[in-house]
Structure 1
Amino acid sequence: MPSMPAFELVNPDGDPSALLLCDHAANTVPAEVNGGDLGLPAEDMARHIAYDVGARGLTLRLAARLGFPAVLSTFSRLVIDPNRGEDDPTLIMKLNDGSVIPANRGVGPEETQARLDAWHRPYHDAIRAQIDRAEAQGVRPALISMHSFTKQFRGRPPRPWHVGVLWDEDGRLPLPLMEILREEPDLVIGDNEPYTGALAGDCMWTHGTCRGLPNALIEVRNDLIADAQGEAIWAERLAPILTRALDRMRAGA
């Protein structure tokens, strides 16, 4: 048995019309993985390369305000990235934003399978279970995945966006969400920025696209939610925006 669960489940019996996800909620390294130490200094484990700064707190606050269930990871994305398909070459990163991850340099197929079995697959199984619960009640849930991004990669220009909405070919939720976000005069909104949402094998593709569920991945710049005050401000700001976007999506269905 792994030393810790692979996921955190909040509001499991909440409103099934939407499901909140947080793929990169934690920077924890389980004891089974190199004794709980990837060989990185503490300052690197506190950076965006290890987890999405502020995303867990923001997700928990949104779940509390909106009453939706939420599934959050409990392990660092550097252990194994749950927002990547099992065959993705970046599933276990060996280098990220200028930092080499020593404990990942020699990871082979056996260790990869062990990490998939202990962390990656249980997280996705928990998401499937919540979707199955909703569908058993006759509800096709919308999936909302909460992430954060760094303001600037090393040696690259600053990123101008405050919030990005990532999506694939299904615009049911992303399009009204971006329309409403753009009504906020002080925000710069990215459409598939700072990353693209069209990534086969990622979490939204696996649970949203492949199941025909409306979905959107929301990226908030991490300096805006780096502390509890920022998380609270943005939960208060995003909660009514998400409610309006979901209502508009359903009205257009």
Structure 2
Amino acid sequence: MTAPPTNPAFHIHGIDRASRWLITCDHATNHVPDWINGGDLGLPPEDMGRHIAYDPGALGVARALADLMGAPMISSDFSRLVIDPNRGEADPTLLMKLYDGTIIPANRHADRTEKARRLERLHRPYHAALETLAARREDTVICAIHSFTPQLRGRPPRPWQVGILSDPRDRRLAEPLIAALHAQHIPTGDNEPYKGHLAGDSIDRHALQSGRLNTLIELRQDLIVTEEQQKGWAARLAPLLTQALDSLQNP
């Protein structure tokens, strides 16, 4: 396999690993490149530390899971507020100017030229590298790691510890994985707290459109705050993912 070129838009962990699994982390960081408003979107640190900027805890879980499964892992190195790597290029939420009631000052006047610049320097290199990794084997299985907030403002607490998202077009891996999680008495949502996938998102682009087995795992972020918690959840998930894949006929 030709390795993806080094690029500040992404990091690859374990690039030479031979496993058919590929672990991805689209919303790994709240980093803002210095060529965007001097590396500052104009938000206070407390907002940049919120879920609006990245998926807290997800990167640690993804890296630990990749280590346990002997798999490569790719993660983005830019905040979803800069440009969202889990959105298609035509998605209206690709570059947000208002997110969860918070105005993004450095995005307020972002025009087509600025959007194109961020696509070219960040979004496209990340997806090119992800596809190169996915194409290293004909039987690649993609596992995307995300996190979700325990409670939305004005809403009741979310009861799930884990959410498994899937598209109706391909639930081959999702269904046995959900069953395995339930068997371990882990409160698990089926397309909760979000529904399936969006057209052009990472799973659609790199798995559904090419028929690759896939799953997207959402972990409640208050359960993966520390490195110990992140490694603990990776250790719980690794055998269940293996079990779910092994349960398939002609996987």
**TM bracket (short chain):** over 0.9
Match of 2:83 among 73, 80, 83: 80
Separation of aligned partners in 1, 2:62 and 2:36: 26
1:28 aligns with 2:28: no
2:10–2:77 CA contact under 8 A, matched in 1: yes
The alignment partner of 2:135 has SS state of: helix
Give the equivalent residue in structure 2 for 1:171.
Answer: 171
- Measured after TM superposition, the shift of residue 56 of structure 1 is 0.4
- Measured after TM superposition, the shift of residue 243 of structure 1 is 1.3
Give the equivalent residue in structure 2 for 1:150.
Answer: 149
1:98–1:154 CA contact under 8 A, matched in 2: no
Separation of aligned partners in 2, 1:143 and 1:203: 10
The alignment partner of 1:182 has SS state of: helix
Q: CA RMSD in A?
A: 1.2
Give the equivalent residue in structure 1 for 2:63.
Answer: 60
Residue type of the partner of 1:179?
A: A
- Measured after TM superposition, the shift of residue 232 of structure 1 is 1.6
- Measured after TM superposition, the shift of residue 154 of structure 1 is 2.0
1:165–1:216 CA contact under 8 A, matched in 2: yes
Separation of aligned partners in 2, 1:232 and 1:18: 18
Give the equivalent residue in structure 2 for 1:231.
Answer: 230
Give the equivalent residue in structure 1 for 2:22.
Answer: 19
Separation of aligned partners in 2, 1:158 and 1:95: 24
Give the equivalent residue in structure 1 for 2:189.
Answer: 190
- Measured after TM superposition, the shift of residue 252 of structure 1 is 5.3
CA deviation profile, 1:65-97 (whole Å, cap 9, x unmatched): 110111111110100000000010100112222
The number of aligned residues is 244
Separation of aligned partners in 1, 2:96 and 2:225: 24
The alignment partner of 2:199 has SS state of: coil
1:149–1:222 CA contact under 8 A, matched in 2: yes
Separation of aligned partners in 2, 1:179 and 1:15: 27
Give the equivalent residue in structure 1 for 2:217.
Answer: 218
1:19–1:141 CA contact under 8 A, matched in 2: yes
Separation of aligned partners in 2, 1:16 and 1:209: 20
TM-score relative to the length of structure 2 = 0.94
The alignment partner of 1:133 has SS state of: coil
Match of 2:135 among 132, 136, 143: 132
Separation of aligned partners in 2, 1:18 and 1:165: 17
Residue type of the partner of 2:237?
A: L
Sequence identity (%) = 52
Give the equivalent residue in structure 1 for 2:180.
Answer: 180
5 Å matches for 1:79-118?
79-118=82-121
Residue type of the partner of 2:146?
A: H
Separation of aligned partners in 2, 1:196 and 1:172: 17
Give the equivalent residue in structure 1 for 2:3.
Answer: none
Flag structure 2 segments of 5+ consecutive residues without an equivalent: 1-6
